[in-house]
Amino acid sequence: MRGGLWQLGQSITRRLAQSDKKTIARRCYASEADLKKTVLYDFHVANGGKMVPFAGWSMPIQYKDSIMESTLNCRENGSLFDVSHMCGLSLKGKDAIAFLEKLVVADVAGLAPGTGSLTVFTNEKGGAIDDSVITKVTDDHIYLVVNAGCRDKDLAHIEEHMKAFKAKGGDVGWQIYDERSLLALQGPLAGSTLQFLTKEDLSKMYFGEFRIIDINGSKCFLTRTGYTGEDGFEISVPSENALDLAKAILEKSEGKVRLTGLGARDSLRLEAGLCLYGNDMEQHITPVEAGLTWAIGKRRRAEGGFLGADVILKQIADGPSIRRVGLFSAGPPARSHSEIQNENGESIGEVTSGGFSPCLKKNIAMGYVKSGLHKPGTKVKIAIRGKTYEGSITKMPFVATKYYKP
Amino acid sequence: MALRMWASSTANALRLSTSCRPHFSPLARCFSSVVDGLKYANSHEWVKHEGAVATIGITDHAQDHLGEVVFVDLPDAGGSVTKATGFGAVESVKATSDINSPISGEIVEVNSKLTETPGLINTSPYEDGWMIKVKPSNPSELESLMGAKEYTKFCEEEDASH
């Protein structure tokens, strides 16, 4: 997916949004006025944010810092992202867990209250509808955040199944947090910076944990998670307090935590080996193929009971026919849809996302190859613009993750 | 390994260059440098016609929008280029962009320095970062390109419409 220089602003949006071609076309040609704005829109513009259409929203792709600088600064100091385009919601009711377990692969019942996990919403064929971080707040309250680009589809899917579930007497309802904004604070200074703004002892709050606490004077949903591979938080804040919170975070870090856009967010998540839904995971890709078997709880493997369980459990038993892998390559960065070949030049798969790693100073990519050819060290060729370049399959993450764990 | 070498040298060059020049705000982007005497295509390439040979590269405005260039795909000398048709690609951290030739002709030389140091496109878009030299087959094509003033206006209008 590439364009001429004049399409610059659009190209990354396309690369980030991709998947459904019709949707992309609509996104790309949506006029500025049709785009939704987060409450921080003016703040982004005032700080030099270069706004681009993304999943129906006008979002900053970068600020004054280049993508390279922003990526490095996140790992050295910290980054603040506005991710209010993502959709936060709660499922509440005494059967909320039983309901959600029909739709996702996680062992939600087995989560300790106040903890969460990455999970996958599946369809009847075992393919991924979306990936999502879910938190069991209490036994009758689940909090989750779904992708902006999947919002309509996810909510329709949840609603349809919720109706059927309730018709059979199940107790579950939802609350969608459109009145809240979502900030992601990531990087080594995330904890110490946020600690200035809350009385809660954050040193006792570990990766994957969730709390509802007062931050900078307002009631926030705090999750120690992120999409960069660094320690950090996602903070759901009442929208009227979002601007104050963003300013306070930047100020308390003494300028070291910097506003960071979607461009560096993509580099960071790629370096961390994390999937971008729509690129690295789609309707026809199962969590097993995507390398997320670890997210399918032991009990769920034994019992099934989620959409597509028959397909997924069979894949766990027999092994999937394709697998998501990491790649290093020479030459130009391998972007999505580049063909992956074996050493004889035969096609063995396709790159799903890739780019130049600001931290490693070399090309990294992820993609899917046939099982058996997925082992780290396997030599491959990657076809780009009619030429092939040397590559090899490698373990992910590309850059070591630094999650805050006990 | 060669790959590592070019990559780290680019990064070093870029970090150096970015630290000693002021950050561009979107407003300042309108004032990316445009050189008098060159001809410009609306796809943001420049041509410098001197005697029998024309040098081609991408503009300061283009490199600023692209961000750090990490790889440059160039054709071989001896081949030909056609006006408004792609002859290569520039890869930045952000994206891949096709580079079109503003004129038609035979490629007489390519800038091999860009293989080792693609960041020259960022640090010196009009000088060391040139991409190809062409013997024009139809010099009258140059007439249809923009002059410096016209191109500056074109960039301002394009930025405003984004």
Residues B22-48: tens digit of each pLDDT: 333 333 344 679 999 999 999 999 999
Nearest chain A Cα distance for residue B51, angstroms: 28
CB contacts of A335 in chain B (<8 Å) are: 96
Taking an 8 Å cut-off on Cβ atoms, the answer to whether A67 and B94 are in contact is yes
Distance CA B78, CA A406 (A): 63
pLDDT higher for A16 or B103?
Answer: B103
- Taking the Cβ of residue A163 and every Cβ of chain B, the question of whether any pair is shorter than 8 Å is answered with no
pTM for the complete prediction? Answer: 0.88
Distance CA B28, CA B15 (A): 20
- pLDDT confidence bin for B159, thresholds 50/70/90: confident
CB contacts of A260 in chain B (<8 Å) are: none
- Taking the Cβ of residue B16 and every Cβ of chain A, the question of whether any pair is shorter than 8 Å is answered with no
> What average pLDDT score do residues A336-365 get?
97
Q: Is the pLDDT of residue A17 over 90?
A: no
- Taking the Cβ of residue B142 and every Cβ of chain A, the question of whether any pair is shorter than 8 Å is answered with no
Q: Are B92 and B99 in contact (CB under 8 A)?
A: no
Q: Is the pLDDT of residue A153 over 70?
A: yes
Q: Is the pLDDT of residue B106 over 60?
A: yes
A4, A8, A330 ranked by CB distance to B3: nearest: A330
Nearest chain A Cα distance for residue B124, angstroms: 17
- Taking the Cβ of residue A50 and every Cβ of chain B, the question of whether any pair is shorter than 8 Å is answered with yes
| Pairing, β A379-384 against β A387-394 | antiparallel
B2, B4, B43 ranked by CB distance to A5: nearest: B43
pLDDT of residue A327: 98
- pLDDT confidence bin for B160, thresholds 50/70/90: confident
- Taking the Cβ of residue B25 and every Cβ of chain A, the question of whether any pair is shorter than 8 Å is answered with yes
Of A19-28, A337-346, B31-40, B113-122, the range with the lowest mean pLDDT is: A19-28
Distance CA A235, CA B41 (A): 46
pLDDT of residue A30: 53
DSSP state of A115: E
Q: Is the pLDDT of residue A149 over 80?
A: yes
Nearest chain A Cα distance for residue B110, angstroms: 17
CB contacts of B96 in chain A (<8 Å) are: 1-2, 11, 332-333, 335
Helix or strand holding residue A144 (H, E)? strand A141-146
Taking an 8 Å cut-off on Cβ atoms, the answer to whether B26 and A48 are in contact is yes
- Per-residue pLDDT of A61-96, as tens digits, reads 999 999 999 999 999 999 999 999 999 999 999 999
Residue A200 annotated as part of some ligand binding site: no
Q: Are A177 and A236 in contact (CB under 8 A)?
A: yes
- pLDDT confidence bin for B98, thresholds 50/70/90: very high
Backbone dihedral angles phi then psi of residue A305, each to the nearest 5 degrees: 90, 10
CB contacts of A266 in chain B (<8 Å) are: none
Neighbours of B133 (CB within 10 A): 19
3-class secondary-structure state, position B66: helix
To the nearest whole number, what is the mean pLDDT of chain B? 83
SS3 assignment for A308-362: CHHHHHHHHHHCCCEEEEEEEECCCCCCCCCEEECCCCCEEEEEEEEEEECCCCE
Q: How many residues does chain A have?
A: 406
pLDDT of residue B58: 97
Taking an 8 Å cut-off on Cβ atoms, the answer to whether A6 and B43 are in contact is yes
Q: Is the pLDDT of residue A13 over 50?
A: no
Distance CA A73, CA A264 (A): 10
pLDDT of residue A258: 98
Distance CA A103, CA B16 (A): 51
Taking an 8 Å cut-off on Cβ atoms, the answer to whether A332 and B14 are in contact is no
- Taking the Cβ of residue B7 and every Cβ of chain A, the question of whether any pair is shorter than 8 Å is answered with yes
Chain B CA closest to residue A390: B3
Distance CA A259, CA A48 (A): 10
Nearest chain B Cα distance for residue A303, angstroms: 44
Judge if ipTM > 0.90: no
- Taking the Cβ of residue B8 and every Cβ of chain A, the question of whether any pair is shorter than 8 Å is answered with yes
Burial class (CB in 10 A: 0-12, 13-18, 19+), B45: buried
pLDDT higher for A7 or A226?
Answer: A226
Q: Are B138 and B84 in contact (CB under 8 A)?
A: no
Q: DSSP E strands: which ranges in chain B?
A: 39-40, 45-50, 53-58, 69-73, 80-81, 86-92, 96-100, 105-110, 132-136
pLDDT of residue A317: 97
Q: Is the pLDDT of residue A23 over 80?
A: no
Taking an 8 Å cut-off on Cβ atoms, the answer to whether B162 and A333 are in contact is no
Q: Are A228 and A73 in contact (CB under 8 A)?
A: no
Backbone dihedral angles phi then psi of residue B156, each to the nearest 5 degrees: -60, -45
Neighbours of A406 (CB within 10 A): 5
To the nearest whole number, what is the mean pLDDT of chain A? 93
DSSP state of A277: B
Q: Is the pLDDT of residue A39 over 50?
A: yes
- pLDDT confidence bin for A20, thresholds 50/70/90: very low
pLDDT of residue A405: 97
Nearest chain B Cα distance for residue A263, angstroms: 7
Chain A CA closest to residue B27: A48
- Taking the Cβ of residue B44 and every Cβ of chain A, the question of whether any pair is shorter than 8 Å is answered with yes
Taking an 8 Å cut-off on Cβ atoms, the answer to whether B95 and A6 are in contact is no
- Taking the Cβ of residue B83 and every Cβ of chain A, the question of whether any pair is shorter than 8 Å is answered with no
pLDDT of residue B132: 98
Tell me the one-letter amino acid at A235. Answer: I
Of A165-169, A250-254, B66-70, B110-114, the range with the lowest mean pLDDT is: B66-70
Vertex A358 angle, CA A258 and A385, to 5°: 130
Taking an 8 Å cut-off on Cβ atoms, the answer to whether A333 and B91 are in contact is yes
Q: Is the pLDDT of residue B71 over 90?
A: yes
Give the distance from CA A89 to its chain's centroid: 16
- Per-residue pLDDT of A290-329, as tens digits, reads 999 999 999 999 999 999 999 999 999 999 999 999 999 9
Tell me the one-letter amino acid at A138. Answer: T
- Taking the Cβ of residue B43 and every Cβ of chain A, the question of whether any pair is shorter than 8 Å is answered with yes
B8, B24, B162 ranked by CB distance to A9: nearest: B162
**H-only helix segments in A80-139:** 96-101
Which tokens hold the place of B72?
Answer: 């440059």
